[in-house]
Structure 1
Amino acid sequence: MSNHTNLFPNFTDETSQLFLNFNDIVDNLFTKFPKAEFYVAGIGAITNILHLIVISQKAMMMSSTNVILIGIGIHDLMLMLSILSPFVNRPRIGGCDPPPSLIRVHLELLSYAISDSSRRTSSWLGVSLAFVRFAVLKNARKLRPTNLGKLRFGWIIVFIMSFISILFAAAYRFRFKLIQFETWHPPPSCEFSENFTRPEYGYLQRAIFYDYHELLLKLSFLIDGILAKFVPCFILILLGFLLVKELKHAQGSRKMMRSKKESASKNRTTKIVICMTVSYLVAEFPLGLIMILQFVLAETPGFLLVLSKMQLLFNLINTCNATIHCFICFSLSVHYRNTVKRMLYCYKKRVVVLVCSSFAASSDKDTDSKVARYLKSCGVITSLKTTKCVKKSDEVDKELKAFAKSKDKDLSKIKTSCKETVDCVKELKCKPLEEDHKETLDLCGRALFQDEFKECSKKLQALKKGGDKDAAKCLEDFKSETKKTTKDTCTFLKGSKDCIKAHIKKECGDDKLAGWEKFAQDSFKENECEKAIGTKWN
């Protein structure tokens, strides 16, 4: 009863208990997940570093919008680092670890000031981002020139917002003073020398903030809540509606003003800004409301206790918001995704060149020069695979030349070598490599088809032996026609009365028919058939 009265004067016990229960729920949440913000900040630090690497590329530096996004990314990263730094080598409370030194306490307090400053700057840069995008769209629609889209203007905005926020951070730091509140004595179980002690430091708000009925404390809550949270949120709501309106105008008039491709790019940029605006509203508005309530309820200790716990909860949400900005850009910006792809391409290409140079010792000069040419022409392909494929293709070339001079014309005998070559060339998808070995690939294709067609050939022979007169005549005609001149053969193969196609399709299916047609086309050479019958081969 007494505790309720002290914490919530002028409130009933039931109401006081309700607020205390809510405080316990939030407390339990952070007790079960004590390092929730630490893990989120760790992920956020990684994503923001990657985001800054991408967005600071020369290809991305196109307008003030991109510069403001860089500013947001920098302050988001500073926020993550300021959250992570107090966790580094933090002493365990109640254990044998000595309490933090005076310098460490100073640094922790500085990290809280940086965190406060970064959150504030990031939200105002979000407002600036929305405003600049709206102004650029509006001026473009009315065909009015503007300097707002220039890179220099973006840097000016980032500098001004950062400077103003630093002043607020300095005021935040001034609120607290460091004191030695106790002397630490290690537990007997710890291995310290006798009479070992360490001062324990902490910080509290300066007495001036409690004078005149906490006037300065209330004003600090009010000013910070209004300028850092409430005003940005209301401006963001207004700019959000205006951006949606301008987006509709842009979609309606894009045919008259610019190409669809350029318009789509502009619209995607606007959608990124709208999504960033919504994310800031979700993260910042509750914090602004909490700060205003802290001003209104400054004389009620219980409410300050509950609101401080709620502030921790919404700070976690704010940290999550600072983590997802790169995902918003990646999901909505084609230009952003293309920049990421180009960066990965360049990285892989550098790796490939290193692998290629290290592998060169085990390959001959002719192979090296070919591999280097294919790598240069085809970009990101694995050097080791390329070298092996070039060697294999050259070996099969020699094998096919020897095969051509022999009397044995059964291509299926070289199918194993051919299959390895065809598979590796297809996997690499390198056009110069395919062109250099076109004849080899054609012959190998026929060799592999001959082997695949054996079962189908048996089915056709079975038709002939089974008494199917039409099939027997068709096969005999085909056999005799292919022994005639090129012109007769080509005319027969191209003719609409080619009965063998119908039998292949019926007995073996469309795949084998398509393979047979290609085999016939390659075997009798398309250019010779065109010269012979005067029409293009289909």
Structure 2
Amino acid sequence: MSPPYSATDFDEYTKSSQSVLLNIGNYLSELSDNFIQFQLFFACIGFVVNIFHLTVLTRKSMRTSSINVIMIGISICDLCNMVFMIKYDIVMFSENECSPPKTYTNEIFNLWISAAEDTTRRLITWFGFLLASLRFFIVKNSLKPKYHHFSKPLFATKVMISMTIISVIMSVFYYGRGCFKVVDEWAPPKHCDGFPLNFTTPVYEVVIENMALSEDSPALKTLSIVDGLLKLIASCTLPIFTYLLMIEHRNAKNSKLQFSTRSRSSRSDHTTKLVILMTITFIISESPFGIIYFVEGIVLNSPGIVHLTTDLIDLFGIFLAINSITSCLICLVVSSQYRRAVEKLIGMKKKNSNSRSSRVNVTSCAVIGKSEMKI
């Protein structure tokens, strides 16, 4: 359960504004708590689907283009986020007022889990932006040989590694600012069973001793605003690249690029359609987060608003789980290369080959029969 809101969370606002914000906050808190069971359900499905999706994408036949490599990165981030989401939801279900506070080791572990989640959440937005922008650039310059290296897996790998390093540095800076110290002693309520007499355990909280790295410091405010702005820009430009991709796709289809074979052109069309559909799902699932993270970066000194944004992030988390499932479905429907990899993975190719050879034999027999009749 999320902690309840209080008037002290909104000290900087007037009484009437506090009342409105309290009602909104408590409603969002109750709504996000009710959504946890649905979120856990979709997260479990997303975990299984993404294991299968990642297994297909990492096959040798799929690691042939920069777009597929980016999709591997997105799938890895989705899989990590499903694990984090399942862990968070299970903890939320299992904890109650008789649950003791976490030990020092657990607090350290959870802190770095949060840092990893922050890193992968940021990377999903960045990789989605990279997917759409790179595909647009490739289609736009498909007849210029000097730009062909942008479609190679190595190029995407280098860009993604650079993005990952930047994202890790940002998360480490934010989550590595303080240290855990004992701030209180916890004793179980009288109605809780299973504890020794006079049992107490320390309560740990992150304490930031260096004021230059506190929530109100210019360095942290700048980092938070830049982080939120990057997420917002990436989310807001996705519709633009989707529109531009659709235009380029239509132009390429009308012109029937004379330097490409029909099969290659068809393969390129399928890749562009795949990116367009995936970008649309990213717009639906990621745009709210871009706005929320940007607002969160601006209002760091308002605990109530930060609490509100946290509840909104929890509430929209279900869309992340659903989006992680749709990526695999889109690939299955649109990409013939993906379907062939799936068939080969589950052993359907051999059956298809046998059926084709049987058809060839039947056809051959029919031809021989007709020849004999003519003789």
- The TM-score bracket by the shorter chain reads 0.7 to 0.9
Show the 5 A alignment for 1:290-439.
290-345=292-347, 378=354
Show the 5 A alignment for 1:83-162.
83-86=85-88, 92-95=95-98, 97-142=99-144, 144-162=146-164
How far did residue 182 of structure 1 move? Answer: 2.7
How far did residue 99 of structure 1 move? Answer: 3.2
Distance 1:117 1:300 in 2: 24
Question: Could you tell me which amino acid in structure 2 is paired with residue 258 of structure 1?
Answer: S
How far did residue 128 of structure 1 move? Answer: 1.8
Distance 2:279 2:172 in 1: 27
Distance 2:250 2:42 in 1: 36
Task: Classify the secondary structure of the residue corresponding to 1:60.
Answer: coil
How far did residue 81 of structure 1 move? Answer: 1.9
Distance 1:89 1:313 in 2: 16
Match of 1:167 among 161, 166, 169: 169
How far did residue 199 of structure 1 move? Answer: 2.2
Cα pair 2:81 2:121 within 8 Å, conserved? yes
Distance 1:346 1:295 in 2: 51
Distance 1:201 1:80 in 2: 27
Which residue of 2 is the match for residue 239 of structure 1?
Answer: 241
Distance 2:278 2:212 in 1: 36
1:489-536 Cα shifts (integer Å, max 9, x gaps): xxxxxxxxxxxxxxxxxxxxxxxxxxxxxxxxxxxxx99xx97xxx79
Distance 2:70 2:260 in 1: 25
How far did residue 378 of structure 1 move? Answer: 3.2
Distance 1:302 1:98 in 2: 26
Computed over aligned residues only, the root mean square deviation of the Cα atoms, in angstroms, reads: 3.5
Distance 1:206 1:328 in 2: 49
Task: Give structure 2 stretches of 5+ with no counterpart.
Answer: 1-5
Task: Classify the secondary structure of the residue corresponding to 1:331.
Answer: helix
Which residue of 1 is the match for residue 197 of structure 2?
Answer: 194
With over 3 angstroms needed to count, the CA separation of the structure-2 counterparts of 1:58 and 1:252, relative to structure 1, is same
How far did residue 49 of structure 1 move? Answer: 0.8
Higher relative contact order (CA 8 A, sep 6+): 2
Which residue of 1 is the match for residue 65 of structure 2?
Answer: 63
How far did residue 174 of structure 1 move? Answer: 1.8
Which residue of 1 is the match for residue 224 of structure 2?
Answer: 221
TM-score when normalising by structure 2: 0.82
Cα pair 1:41 1:323 within 8 Å, conserved? no
Distance 1:377 1:314 in 2: 45
More deviation in 276-285 or 164-173? 276-285
Identical amino acids, percent of aligned pairs:
27
Cα pair 1:130 1:236 within 8 Å, conserved? yes
Question: Could you tell me which amino acid in structure 1 is paired with residue 286 of structure 2?
Answer: E
1:338-366 Cα shifts (integer Å, max 9, x gaps): 2212222259x7xxxxxxxxxxxxxxxxx
Cα pair 1:141 1:250 within 8 Å, conserved? no
Query: Number of paired residues?
Result: 363
Question: Could you tell me which amino acid in structure 2 is paired with residue 165 of structure 1?
Answer: S
How far did residue 113 of structure 1 move? Answer: 0.9
With over 3 angstroms needed to count, the CA separation of the structure-2 counterparts of 1:377 and 1:16, relative to structure 1, is closer
1:210-261 Cα shifts (integer Å, max 9, x gaps): 869553443232021012x123224434432332222122111126343444
With over 3 angstroms needed to count, the CA separation of the structure-2 counterparts of 1:201 and 1:263, relative to structure 1, is same
Task: Classify the secondary structure of the residue corresponding to 1:71.
Answer: helix
Question: Could you tell me which amino acid in structure 2 is paired with residue 197 of structure 1?
Answer: T
Cα pair 2:115 2:171 within 8 Å, conserved? yes
1:80-118 Cα shifts (integer Å, max 9, x gaps): 2223335567863223x5432211121111111111100
Which residue of 2 is the match for residue 203 of structure 1?
Answer: 206
Cα pair 1:20 1:306 within 8 Å, conserved? no
With over 3 angstroms needed to count, the CA separation of the structure-2 counterparts of 1:11 and 1:196, relative to structure 1, is closer
TM-score when normalising by structure 1: 0.59
Task: Give structure 1 stretches of 5+ with no counterpart.
Answer: 350-374, 381-428, 439-525
More deviation in 193-202 or 106-115? 193-202
Question: Could you tell me which amino acid in structure 1 is paired with residue 330 of structure 2?
Answer: I
Alignment of 1:44 with 2:46, yes or no, is: yes
Distance 2:360 2:271 in 1: 38
